[in-house]
Structure 1
Amino acid sequence: HAEDEIAAACMAIGAAFSGARAMTVTSGGGFCLMVESVGLAGMTEVPLVIMESQRGGPSTGLPTRTEQADLLFAIHAAQGEFPRAVIAPGSVEECFEAGWRSFNLAEKYQCPVIVLTDQFQSSSLRTLDMDAIDFNAVEIDRGSTLTYEDLDRLSDGYRRFEFTESGISPRAIPGHPKAVFAASTDEHDEAGHITEEIENRRRMMQKRMRKLETATAEMRPPRLYGPPGAEVTLVCWGSTYGPCREAADEINAGGGSANVLQFGDLWPLPTDAVTEALRSCRRTVAVEQNYTSQLARLLRMTTGIQVDQTLTKYDGRPFAPEEIAAGLSVPAGQARR
């Protein structure tokens, strides 16, 4: 147990740097303290996984209650620009998958990966059938990693931050005499040596950000539940998927027409697939547990599409399906609770 969240994040970075798969877990307040470490991992291109269980804020806020107010914070945490991935599982099964998948993304793209859940989901208990989780589907992808044999064959030295077309530089685990390099949080050249030279800075920024472009092709589009072409589409992410799904079932059983568009991969957002999914909807209602409809804002920022209505809740209690169904009767705009 680390003395604080800063130490926990730095310990995870150190473990990942040495070749271990490492993650740390926190809530929103703890993640605030970890932000500088997120930038450290971004600059040194060390795979780091952080699971952030959101609660009501700011500050201590509602320490035992739930909220979804950290989405935009997670996407933009730390100063400067660097690649990271943000995913948000919507069920127990998806939480299991997010565990191994977040490590794959972090090691493949050598960047921080933030798994967003919330207090409601983190403290929920659920019994699953044995076949609910496919353990055979688990994959381990450690990305572009040089073996000792690969390093033995190097003739012109090892460049940890080598410029590549994909932006992903071959990674070597410390310990081999040919894999000695500097890992600096200052801007650096291919060997890791500190420099503020103009052209190198441009190329390094472009190299790192190309990883984001490469990763976008791997991010999953939103998933549709319910009848295609429904009159109303509930747009959601994270733990609101459960009550949205139940609300849609109740609406359809009562003679209405509703489906659910669930977002699990939130950054980098696969913009083309998201745009196509949103344009196929007749009426969209974003259901979120925050005040400012952060997913709706993200969708408008990346696709230019504004949802037709937002339904938000921020009292620390999770949505009930009945609340969602009732919120659809509110005139188009924003319904807040």
Structure 2
Amino acid sequence: MVDVARGLSVSLVVLGHTTLPAWLNGPLSTVRLPFLFFISGYLFNWDRYRERPLRLVRQRARRLLIPYATAGLLTFVFWLLVRRPLEPAAAAIPWHRPVWGWLYGSSHADWMAFNLPLWYLPASFCGQLSFWLLLRAVSGRPPAVQAVAALGAGVAGVLIGQRVHLPWAADVALAAQPFFWAGWFLRQAARRDWLEHPAALVAALGVWAAALALNGPVAVNTRAYGEPLWFYLGGWAACLVAVRLARALAAWPLPRAVFGYLGRHSMVVLGFHVGLAFPLLSLLLHVAVGDPRLDLWGVYWLGGLAMTAVLAKLAERFPRLALWLEGVPAFPSGSRSPQPSAGGDKAPHRVTA
């Protein structure tokens, strides 16, 4: 189910980068990134890293920063050699400006014009290190104390982000701590059967709707959170709805296979849908019909997922390529992957997004 949830979350991210109508993009803006951080918290193995923070640094650097560097380099070269000569908007940007944005981990389109979504990877890296520090301080405390500490870190990140955008989106990493904690707490909970109760879904939908009505859409990359309390309440509620949706999808063979595959290769999908797949689709449509038809958001969504899925299939065939694109060795579809360790680690081909 975790792979399906990750596949659902990255699919929503791809959808959000199309020319989606405002009436649909607004609600989805409150769940896309919170759900990604929520899943990372759910998968965070505190017992494994409690006394070994350097191990966490090494493993997260491999799984997040190597794909960040690889996807950044490849899509920048593509932007420089292919897109910049053809796109007037790209030609107007000095060639070196995106390089500085990439090194800084900027989440502004004019600084990382060649592949904006990449900013999430260093932000997630910083977020997981920050979460280790949070758990180090409060893991033995009652859940209420943990929640208050996570909210305090989150609000601090929101306030910092309103004044300065830190390198590698470290302020967003702080702002995301309540979602890391919520996912982690759900994993530790002795009982999770309440999630299946219809009342839980109705309540989550109600809170999510209230947050949308009172706080409106959000944009984490530009630090447009609105009112922090409603941002977090709406994000938590939306994550619970997304968990229920992922469970439902996992119960059906075809959605389980599709979203599970996208989830196992979420790093490729995230790293190449804007920087490679969307521009190629635009060029193909321009050649075919004389218009890139950016308004066809459904075509770009499905085409972006399909193209990155093909790239992921290529990575499956070449483990060294998978190491560079996904941060871990690959195991071909249908093959038996190594069993998780007793500490609860995931199989190597499952990448923490």
Report the TM-score range of the alignment, normalised by the length of the smaller protein. under 0.3
TM-score, with length taken from structure 2: 0.22
Higher-Rg structure is 1
More helix, by proportion: 2
More strand, by proportion: 1
